[in-house]
Chain A
């Protein structure tokens, strides 16, 4: 028997509190696999929290616990001391208020455009707020705001079929469908997958906007280190169902070994600044983003810069 872990009440600003969480797929069959193995994680209000790891490292399982699409395996003995609390809702109980939770936690899946279904963009974006049981005026207001927030033109697009839109517009419409629920926490599963660089940049800018205006806490799963370096203030590294560590981006990219052992690549800016500093250019070797590096270089060569 393991010792019962005493659970101290989480501080107010901790939005997602995961402790000692284990999840096993296909228990008691030849396919049994441990997706999560004693994972603990704390996301505070205002975090742009990154989760990185290889495919099969348990990222998806972890984030789907956060809005209870995957329920915690309460009967599993490894979960005896587990805690799972999101926006003040305890998810270890048998019947948590899922309606309330889904209103508070918005989830943007990989390729969210595949969830579009309605005749018009407006109806599709209204699906979430409708499920929350809001009044017609409130829904209309939210739909307008959400569509504008994702950078689409409401008047032009609201009455069109979502299937007529371009790829990037579809994705934005789908994201608007999640934002229209006004979540307190937004979970993004590889939100930029399959977009061109320009589309990626715009989408990330959009998420930073969202964080400033409506939804203070964002959790993002990503493969792309550039994205992580640019957006996140904390990054959890997941491997083999364990949390290998939670770092700030600058800490993370100095841990080259971890990044490489996961088969991931350093951000291009970090790679370049490392290369330059190794070859005698006096730049800081820990520039994280293109902008930082450009500023650094401008300062050194002093031509276009300050």
Chain B
């Protein structure tokens, strides 16, 4: 079980977990574009509803998804406060609600804009969180390799990038375990890692880092031997053990995300002058 602790993946079996990582990645990009285009509370509500559906399907506890917001709470609050304080809207006379003090003011437009920015930041964080919670790092690396593959045309070594990424991801838990082991061994010899000033602490890490580097070099030499003895020669002609295949559901999901993007674009630009679009503009700043 130790192998999977790395990354955020929440290991349950669900349609979202089983979906093709490339599809999830593409949907994530479309989703981000959608969130950036949306500009009213009504539109954000539609996007949030779509996201909520995905979360419920993934069987990841919604609270677990929300807890990712802890990381950006400062950013979100600061952005909100400054947007509100600095946005003067149409000026003191035209606003329905206006409290000014010094160079700052709190007005209706400002509050609305701040709220929209907040919605945007929150949705921007939650979407990718759902992807990382439902995709293993290795699948993710494969997906990125696939999506970068057009760059092969201009001679970018995409396969090498993918391989490096997969190996790095694979080695993180191993190195982590190794660090723990060496730290424990040195602690057992009376080493102390949480005492003294910065310099003392850095010096205390030397007995950990040296054995760690030695074993990492040894491991990488072993790994390259193992790869070479299996005739690895870069990406040429290499087949995959886990072949990524788009299924009908993956394509349907991608189409759905594209539809959502189109819907939001229509709401924002209203190219054909439909009257119902005004409903979707409710709550715009």
A-side residues, CB < 8 A to B, are 26, 30-31, 33, 64, 67, 69, 99, 102-103, 105-107, 109, 112, 114-118, 127-128, 131-132, 163, 177-178, 181
5 A-B pairs in the complex with CB atoms less than 8 angstroms apart: A64-B184, A131-B189, A131-B191, A131-B192, A177-B189
Whether A106 and B1, one on each chain, are in contact in the complex, defined by CB atoms closer than 8 angstroms, is: no
User: Does B201 lie at the interface of the complex (its beta carbon under 8 Å from any beta carbon of A)?
Assistant: no
> Which of A67, A118, A127 contacts B191 (CB under 8 A)?
A127
Interface residues of B in 168-214 (CB under 8 A from A): 181-182, 184-192, 206-208, 210-211, 214
Chain B hits for A118, CB < 8 A: 207
Q: How far is the CA of A181 from the CA of B12 in the complex (A)?
A: 48
Chain B hits for A31, CB < 8 A: 1, 4-5
> Which of A26, A69, A163 contacts B188 (CB under 8 A)?
A69
Q: How far is the CA of A131 from the CA of B192 in the complex (A)?
A: 8
Whether B190 and A128, one on each chain, are in contact in the complex, defined by CB atoms closer than 8 angstroms, is: yes
Whether B189 and A109, one on each chain, are in contact in the complex, defined by CB atoms closer than 8 angstroms, is: no
User: Does B215 lie at the interface of the complex (its beta carbon under 8 Å from any beta carbon of A)?
Assistant: yes
Whether B5 and A102, one on each chain, are in contact in the complex, defined by CB atoms closer than 8 angstroms, is: no
| Min CB gap A156→B, angstroms | 23
The 10 closest A-B pairs by CB, nearest first: A131-B190, A115-B185, A107-B188, A128-B189, A117-B210, A117-B207, A69-B184, A102-B190, A109-B185, A117-B211
User: Does B44 lie at the interface of the complex (its beta carbon under 8 Å from any beta carbon of A)?
Assistant: no
User: Does B11 lie at the interface of the complex (its beta carbon under 8 Å from any beta carbon of A)?
Assistant: yes
Chain A hits for B208, CB < 8 A: 117
Q: How far is the CA of A132 from the CA of B12 in the complex (A)?
A: 48
User: Does B25 lie at the interface of the complex (its beta carbon under 8 Å from any beta carbon of A)?
Assistant: no
| Min CB gap B69→A, angstroms | 20
| Min CB gap B202→A, angstroms | 15
Chain B hits for A99, CB < 8 A: 190, 192
Chain B hits for A115, CB < 8 A: 182, 185-186, 189, 207, 211
Chain B hits for A117, CB < 8 A: 206-208, 210-211
Known: A30-B12, A114-B182. A67 touches B188 (CB 8 A): yes
Q: How far is the CA of A105 from the CA of B184 in the complex (A)?
A: 13
A-contact bits for B80-94, CB 8 A (1 contact / 0 none): 000000000000000
- Which residue among A99, A116, A117 has the maximum number of chain B CB atoms within 10 Å of its CB? A117
User: Does B41 lie at the interface of the complex (its beta carbon under 8 Å from any beta carbon of A)?
Assistant: no
Whether B1 and A127, one on each chain, are in contact in the complex, defined by CB atoms closer than 8 angstroms, is: no
Known: A117-B206, A163-B214. A109 touches B184 (CB 8 A): yes
> Which of B11, B12, B187, B211 contacts A116 (CB under 8 A)?
B211
Q: How far is the CA of A128 from the CA of B211 in the complex (A)?
A: 16
Whether A132 and B207, one on each chain, are in contact in the complex, defined by CB atoms closer than 8 angstroms, is: no
| Min CB gap A112→B, angstroms | 7
Q: How far is the CA of A163 from the CA of B5 in the complex (A)?
A: 33
User: Does B10 lie at the interface of the complex (its beta carbon under 8 Å from any beta carbon of A)?
Assistant: yes
- Which residue among B4, B187, B189 has the maximum number of chain A CB atoms within 10 Å of its CB? B189
| Min CB gap A193→B, angstroms | 14
Residue of B nearest to A33 (CB): B1
Q: How far is the CA of A67 from the CA of B187 in the complex (A)?
A: 10
| Min CB gap A33→B, angstroms | 7
Q: How far is the CA of A26 from the CA of B11 in the complex (A)?
A: 14
> Which of A33, A64, A102 contacts B189 (CB under 8 A)?
A102
Chain A hits for B186, CB < 8 A: 115, 127
Known: A30-B10, A30-B12, A117-B210. A102 touches B215 (CB 8 A): no
Q: How far is the CA of A118 from the CA of B10 in the complex (A)?
A: 41
Whether A112 and B185, one on each chain, are in contact in the complex, defined by CB atoms closer than 8 angstroms, is: yes
A-contact bits for B43-82, CB 8 A (1 contact / 0 none): 0000000000000000000000000000000000000000
Q: How far is the CA of A26 from the CA of B185 in the complex (A)?
A: 22
Chain B hits for A131, CB < 8 A: 189-192
Q: How far is the CA of A128 from the CA of B192 in the complex (A)?
A: 11
Chain A hits for B12, CB < 8 A: 30
Residue of B nearest to A177 (CB): B189
Interface residues of B in 98-149 (CB under 8 A from A): none
- Which residue among B11, B181, B185, B192 has the maximum number of chain A CB atoms within 10 Å of its CB? B185
Q: How far is the CA of A26 from the CA of B232 in the complex (A)?
A: 38
Residue of A nearest to B4 (CB): A31
| Min CB gap B266→A, angstroms | 41
> Which of A33, A112, A114, A132 contacts B190 (CB under 8 A)?
A132
